[in-house]
A and B are shown apart, each in its own frame.
Chain A
Amino acid sequence: MPHVISQTPKMSQSGHPSGLPADRNTSLSVTRVIVKTPGSQKDFMIADDTSVRKFKEKLSAHFQCQMDQLVLVFMGRLLKDHDTLSQRGIMDGHTIHLVIKSKHGSRSLAHSSWNLPTNEPCHRDRNTKGNSSEVHQPAGVDQASVESAHFVGSDAPKVHTQNLELGSPEHIAQVLENPSIQQLLSNTELIQQFISEHPDVQQLMQQNPEVFHLLDNSEILSQTLELAKNLAMIQEIMQIQQPAQNLEHPLNPQPYLGLETMPGGNNTLSQSCADFNDQMLNSMQDPFESNPFIALLAGQVLDQFKSSSPSPSPSQERQDQLPQLPTTRVIYTSSRGLSSITSANGTSNRVNHTSGANTATISTKGQNHICALHQPAVIPALPSIELTQQLQYEDKDATISLSSSEQRLEDDFQLSDEQNNSQITGGMMQLLMNNPYLAAQMMLFVNMPQLSEQWRQELPISLQQIQLSDLLIAL
């Protein structure tokens, strides 16, 4: 759009009714302009040669504010008091945007106002809703690192106690979003210290010496920490709400994750799977709530996935595998680099589940899926959705009759290669999944047999086609 500053005479093209001569520099026509504020708009009739200042007077009377609170924007340009409306090219029917500044000085984004003055109030501030308006961006890395060092040094115990008090996931999610925390998390040594010093963790480690051993592995820790950083993302991705059953021994998935991401860790992976199965059996009824981080990591998200079976009726073994799966998938989905492995293992685990042979299949699939690393990570939704479907499948009493429909879908999925499968359906399912009422809604879908039939028929064909192309791309 032309940006008119010059004093070109405004002709009667504004369409006003009166027929004033067009050769006058300033016409006395009245124009109708739309003044738009956030949330409302109103028409104003003003003379063309009105100065912006006069217009502001009018507006301030109407909106009941002071003139210096008014900011007028037209075509991206701020209107200054000494201009006239016609000067700026404002004609009939044009929209002028109005912002009414608040009386206090406004704040800017926390580019420059990053501060971590004292850790306690800051911590609390960040956790209360009001201050979630701050964008967490450090002004400088140095500043953040210095502060985080200070943060760590003097306030490590405070962090823990505070987190215990404010143990709800949203608070922690906000905390985790904080880049200084993230930097903290990047320092694996520190985290190792934290974790080992935490009494609950120590208790856990006593119960599971393997966990202790795995915690020492810095590689695993760094992977886990990367995950923890993306924790907020995990939660946001997983919005399925189902009644909770925290059957899981939450720390176990962490080492599971770590092992898996180590290249060539397939053998250890299969070994650990067997171990974890045992651990699952042992610790199935043992919720692990105390450490809010862990709870957040596994428990809360897991809760969302667990089916609401009143009593764990399905076979123990199956349920062992399943609790394992959700956490792994959940954790994986947050990490982009890992997500391809996630889906791969997720799907492989699914197959395992149906076939019943766990460890062997994982090891074979694991090798296949290392090479899936380069594929785009579109997976997040898929594993979780498959997971829910599985869990629902498990639950015989499920009001979710969609289990059968999902089973059908799953059957379709199994027709083609697992990798391509997850990739394809991931995107589709992503559209459908972020929905707390997915179950109910999908019933609707199920009840349209024609549609689902059509989809079932078309899906295998298209999947095969896409499978070929993907294989070519992979090569």
Chain B
Amino acid sequence: MEPPNLYPVKLYVYDLSKGLARRLSPIMLGKQLEGIWHTSIVVHKDEFFFGSGGISSCPPGGTLLGPPDSVVDVGSTEVTEEIFLEYLSSLGESLFRGEAYNLFEHNCNTFSNEVAQFLTGRKIPSYITDLPSEVLSTPFGQALRPLLDSIQIQPPGGGTVGRPNGQS
């Protein structure tokens, strides 16, 4: 029996604040944050991420954010590109619609975590998924919560992933 193909799965991590969070968080929040993390999953030579425009994809490092600040190796998967795109289409219609985006509860990192678990069974590092609660546990975060809640992040440079016309 031939061995199955294994495709590497990577997590691209971007700091949206470009280092400012690390410098200013002690002043503003009272605690040290290393960055404001935006993540995406890279598999099958494409980068997939979730934003206010729904699930998007682009060539790796192809958003306006440029190359990632760090890359985490999530593992490898047997899931083929075909199956993966089906999966993403279903996700995009159900759980990860654009309007479902919420900066704290249901953001790009939620998506990356979900996809990473699907592809490899592993979760993404906790410092990324813990970020919202870290911010909300500060008085500053609480005070700005109404404002921050309505922020929608959508890194430009990607195209929407969805079912093509005609398919059920």
Contacts and interface: CB of A to CB of B under 8 A. Distances in A.
A1 B95 contact: no
Interface in A132-168: 132-137
Interface string A438-468: 1001101100100100010010001000100
Nearest to A75: B121
B143 A132 contact: no
B127 interface: no
Contact of B159 (A1, A108, A133): A133
Contacts of B144: 445
Nearest to A442: B147
Nearest to B116: A76
Contacts of A458: 27-28
B120 interface: yes
A130 interface: yes
A74 interface: yes
B117 to A, nearest CB: 8
A71 B146 contact: no
B17 to A, nearest CB: 4
A71 B81 CA distance: 13
A39 B90 contact: yes
Contacts of B59: 137
A424 B143 CA distance: 21
Interface string A1-40: 1000000000000000000000000000000000011111
A99 B90 contact: yes
A99 B20 contact: no
Contacts of A407: none
A262 interface: no
- Most chain B CB within 10 A, of A134, A135, A177, A466, is at A135
Q: What bracket does the count of chain A residues touching chain B fall in?
A: 35 or more
Interface in B127-168: 140, 143-144, 146-148, 150-154, 156-157, 159-168
Contacts of B4: 77-78
B62 to A, nearest CB: 9
- Most chain B CB within 10 A, of A239, A441, A442, A448, is at A441
Contact of B147 (A37, A74, A100, A441): A441
A303 B28 CA distance: 33
Interface in B1-54: 4, 9, 16-21, 23-24, 27-28, 36, 44-46, 53
Nearest to A433: B151
Interface residues of B, number: 67
Nearest to B94: A39
A103 B151 contact: no
Nearest to B64: A233
Given A104-B167, A131-B164, A427-B17, A237 B156 contact: yes
A100 B90 contact: yes
B121 A441 contact: no
Contacts of B81: 108-109
A233 B156 contact: yes
A-side interface mostly:
mixed
A473 B146 CA distance: 36
Given A37-B90, A100-B90, A441-B150, A135 B46 contact: yes
Given A233-B156, A434-B151, A131 B165 contact: yes
B85 interface: yes
Interface in A170-227: 177
Contact of A466 (B23, B122, B143, B148): B23
Nearest to B46: A109
A1 B17 contact: no
A355 interface: no
Contacts of A76: 9, 75-79, 119-121
B159 A132 contact: yes
A101 B19 CA distance: 42
A405 interface: no
Given A38-B91, A135-B46, A444 B151 contact: no
Given A75-B121, A107-B164, A336-B66, A427 B57 contact: no
Contact of B166 (A104, A378, A434): A104
A134 B166 CA distance: 14
A424 B122 CA distance: 36
Contact of B163 (A102, A436, A438, A444): A102
B148 A462 contact: no
Contact of A448 (B95, B143, B151): B143
A426 B20 CA distance: 9
Interface string A386-424: 000000000000000000000000000000000000001
Contact of A133 (B119, B151, B160): B160
Given A39-B95, A78-B79, A438-B147, 5 more contacts: A38-B91, A76-B119, A109-B57, A427-B18, A432-B147
26 contacts: A1-B122, A40-B94, A73-B79, A77-B77, A78-B79, A99-B90, A102-B86, A102-B163, A103-B168, A104-B168, A107-B164, A108-B85, A109-B46, A133-B161, A135-B57, A177-B159, A230-B156, A378-B18, A428-B24, A431-B36, A431-B148, A432-B148, A432-B151, A434-B152, A442-B147, A451-B140
Interface of B: 4, 9, 16-21, 23-24, 27-28, 36, 44-46, 53, 57-59, 64, 66, 75-79, 81-83, 85-87, 90-91, 93-95, 117-122, 140, 143-144, 146-148, 150-154, 156-157, 159-168
The 10 closest A-B pairs by CB, nearest first: A39-B94, A427-B20, A75-B121, A38-B90, A233-B156, A133-B162, A76-B120, A76-B77, A441-B147, A236-B156
